[in-house]
């Protein structure tokens, strides 16, 4: 196995000593957010240079969540009324992303090279995933949430339009999902079901690449573990 090299990642403006990297594109450009004087700011790190990303409407904070290979960035900002909105930064211009069904907040989390955005919004019934594509919002609710009255959150979309995230059932259990070709597939890491485990296990799918490989995490007895899932080739 090749030696892995870890490099510290700290925005020089992070006076509160808090920096979080959330996304990276094929060229190594990184997005995330940092905190200074109690306020969260988005960031872009490119070629060793840090650039602050602050949506002009985000008077109470901005965070960047994902970047595609076209340089488009998505994330969320909080306005003066403490309401959260998603945003798309493309060509130097900010566009607000607010699902029309959202009553309190929208969060843009993932973007592919086609500019399709996924995320989550909150209404009176709970949390729902969404897809924003060519100006059209499409709701993403895993059918299991409708049966069990839970919540769905979408985290990432690849260039084939496959979407991953997780849903929560009425018992508070999280289950990962893959949405592909109009079909939802539940993703539960087998290791999360441990015979005799005292706690409740959870699985969440966080990212998917163009090969269909999925990464995420699962928890057993309050211990969290990462996973990689790929389609088996028989």
Sign, CA torsion 113/120/213/227: positive
Copy the structure tokens of residue 225: 């573990």
pLDDT digits (tens, 9 = 90+) for 29-83: 999 999 999 999 999 999 989 999 999 999 999 999 999 999 999 999 999 999 9
d(CA 110, CA 105): 16
d(CA 201, CA 194): 8
pLDDT digits (tens, 9 = 90+) for 73-111: 999 999 999 999 999 999 999 999 999 999 999 999 999
- Least confident stretch, 61-75, 152-166, 204-218: 204-218
> Given pLDDT bands bounded at 50, 70 and 90, which one contains residue 199?
low
Statement: the pTM of the whole predicted model exceeds 0.85 = yes
- The Cα-based distances of 220 to 168, 170, 223 in angstroms read 16, 18, 5
């Amino acid at each position: 196995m090749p030696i892995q090299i870890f490099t510290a990642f700290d925005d020089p403006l992070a006076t509160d000593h808090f920096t979080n990297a959330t996304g990276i594109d094929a060229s190594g450009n990184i997005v995330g957010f940092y905190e200074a004087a109690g306020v969260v700011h988005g960031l872009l790190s490119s070629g060793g240079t840090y650039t602050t990303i602050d949506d002009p409407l985000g008077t109470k904070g901005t965070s960047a969540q994902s970047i595609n290979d076209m340089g488009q960035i998505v994330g969320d900002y909080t306005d003066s009324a403490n309401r959260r909105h998603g945003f798309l930064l493309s060509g130097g211009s900010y566009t607000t992303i607010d699902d029309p069904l959202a009553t309190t907040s929208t969060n843009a989390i993932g973007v592919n090279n086609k500019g399709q955005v996924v995320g989550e919004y909150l209404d009176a019934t709970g949390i729902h995933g969404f897809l924003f594509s060519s100006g059209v919002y499409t709701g993403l609710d895993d059918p299991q949430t409708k049966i069990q009255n839970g919540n769905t959150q979408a985290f990432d979309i690849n260039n084939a339009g496959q979407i991953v995230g997780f849903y929560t059932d009425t018992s508070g259990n999280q289950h990962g999902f893959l949405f592909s070709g109009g079909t939802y597939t539940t993703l539960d890491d087998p290791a999360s079901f441990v015979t005799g485990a005292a706690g409740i296990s959870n699985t969440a799918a966080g990212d998917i690449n163009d090969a269909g490989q999925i990464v995420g995490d699962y928890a057993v007895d309050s211990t969290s573990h990462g996973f990689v899932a790929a389609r088996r080739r028989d």
